[in-house]
Each structure stands twice: as structure tokens, then as C-alpha cells.
Amino acid sequence: IVVLSCCCSGITGDDVETVAQTAAREVDARVIAVRSEGFGGDFRSGYEDAFRVLMDLMEPRGEAGIIRGTVNIIGAREGPTYTEWTQDLDEIERLVYAIGAKINGVLCGGCTVEQIRRAPSAELNASWCYDWGQKLGDLMEERFGVPYARTGQPYGLRATEEWIMGVAVPLGLEERARELVRQETAAVAREVETLRRCFEGKTALIEITEFPGPIRALSLASMAEEFGAHPIIVNFHPYTVKERLPSIKFLLGRGQNPEVILTRGLFSLGSFRSSSETEAEVEMIAAQYDDAIYLGSPLRQPGCPQMNMTTITGYPQYGYQGIRNMARLMRTGLEQASRPRSKLFRSVLYG
């Protein structure tokens, strides 16, 4: 049983931890408390605080032993609201099983209590998203001694291979993993050529400011550069820089340092995505380049070829399946670039 504190209990100072301890003595169940009042922190800090509490359910590694060839996927954010493309997890699971490893559980995204309990027995932790997984990986490594594969998001060929090898090498599955990479790379050769043709020599304007998160923008920038484009991230919101500093330092250490442009509309009150000022600024930025392509929200009308990277669900962007999907998306976006956008839709959004 998990007791969640709300704003009211937080304001009045209710001791939910003691309430949970008292309840545990009166019922035949484990009772834990998670401080979750909205004013107590942001989404990210609440996620990490909740994970710290769930770690109390985990059994020490020595008691259960290490399950060889087994990994935890950490950093998942599945819940009532749509916070991630769960289809990316399907591709990650496929790659893990393809190299001969197994998954204990996805922490904490739809896993069972039993999978949480035996999580320290996994041989390795691997991240769904380094940004969300790195803190959890550090916590479990410090407390239980579980190694953590520090890899970025598997966007494009290079990052996907790095993710696979980051998991395979510590598990002693390097040879099988390299064969998988060879086969999968050959299988997407046509799509890779499509991506090179679509990106080569272009300026890729990337705006992933809200869903599914700005770290995706950094991963897309890396992929765009891999295929020959000059990436520019538009509106990497300043408040995300501080909370994501460990992840940003990690990416900088891997050689990722794309150009970033912050528009004035970003600092306006309200949602900058629907701000007419920001829309005008994005259009102005796109007009400065003869070869611009836009990767981001379908709500924008930048006046250049545009790829929807934020609301198309059901199609993973991770791994080799992601390469297939994005090649199709890029090809369609370029082919349909001359089609007129709705003036009515624009007036509804931006006035």
C-alpha cells in the first residue's frame, strides 16, 4: 500500500510517514509513504523521491544472488498521463533479448512489486532514457552495487550501437552484439541512405520543448549531425538546463554541443508553444536558411519542410525500428513540403 501526500496534507503538515508506519502494524501489508504535494518540488524531483522510497522494498543483492545476463531498464515514466512513447520500450526489449540477455523489469513503468524486490539481483542497469535513468542508476549502484550502463538515447546508427554495446560488454555478450549490429545495420541500409539524402547539407531546426522532453531534442540533433545536417535546437527551455545538468554534461563529454537559439517568446507568460510571438520568431529563424528543415511540433508553420516529432504515437524513434520510421517520416515531409497549410488553423492557434 502506497500513501501519497497531497497539497492539503502538505500545507497542514500531516506526518504521512508516521501514519504509514502505524497503518502497517494494523494491516497485513507493507505500507510506504511518498511525499507528493505539488508545491514540494517539480515532476523530476518527485520522480526521484518516489524511487528512493521504492528502493526500501528492494532486497539486498547478497541475499538473492546475482541473476546473470539479466538487466533492469530504468528511467521509465509510464503512468496515467502519456509521458513517453512506450513503443520505444518495445524496441529496447527486442534489442536486449536479441543479444541474449533478459529483462528483470522496467523500473518503474508497469513493473510488479516482485520485480522491484529482486531488482538488485540483476547483473546490470540500463537506461530507457539517460536523463531520467542516471540518478536512479547512481542510487542503486551506491546502495546495492548494481553497475549502470551509461548510454544515451539510441537515435540513429551510432547511438544505437553505443546503447547495445553499453549493455552487451558488461554482460560478456560483445561478440553476439556485434553480429546483431552488423545484421540490423545491413537491414536498414536503404532507410539510412534516405536519411542521409534528406539531412545532407541541410540546417535542421529542432524544437522539442515540451512532450516528450528536451533531451530528445539533443538526441535528434546528434542523429541529424550523423547524417550530414547542421543541427540547431530552438527553445531549449532555461529551467530544464539546471535540473538536467548531469545529463547535459554527459552529452557534452560525448562530443554533443549543438547550437541553441532561445526566442523572446520563450520567456513570455503562458505556453510559449502557442505564443504568436514565438511562432513568428521560428518563422524568422527558418527564413534565414535556404536549406532549413524543421523537426518538432505540427502546430508550427515555419515555411520549410516539416517533420512531426512530437505527436505521432505508435511509431518508435529508438533503435533500428526508429530509423525505419524516421526515414519514412522525413521522406514524406519533404515530398509534402509544398502543400499549403491551413490559414484557419493558424488563426486559431496564433490569432
The arithmetic mean of pLDDT across residues 103-110, rounded, is 88
**pTM of the predicted model as reported, rounded to 2 decimal places:** 0.87
In three-state form (DSSP H/G/I as H, E/B as E, the rest C), the secondary structure along 193-231 is HHHHHHHCCCEEEEECCCCCCHHHHHHHHHHHHHCCCEE
Residue 25 burial class via C-beta count within 10 angstroms: exposed 0-12, middle 13-18, buried 19 and up: exposed
Looking at residue 212, its pLDDT comes to 65
Whether residue 72 is predicted with pLDDT greater than 80 in this model: the reply is yes
Q: Which domains does the chain have, with CATH numbers?
A: 2-40 (no CATH), 61-187 (3.40.50.1980), 189-350 (3.40.50)
More confident residue, 43 or 262: 262
Whether residue 262 is predicted with pLDDT greater than 80 in this model: the reply is yes
* Residue 132 banded pLDDT, cuts 50, 70, 90: confident
Whether residue 146 is predicted with pLDDT greater than 80 in this model: the reply is yes
More confident residue, 45 or 127: 127
Read off the pLDDT of residues 275-318 as tens digits, 9 standing for 90 and up: 778 888 899 999 999 899 999 888 888 889 999 888 766 688 99
* Residue 32 banded pLDDT, cuts 50, 70, 90: confident
Taking phi over 0 as left and psi of -120 to 50 as alpha, with beta for the rest, 55 belongs to alpha
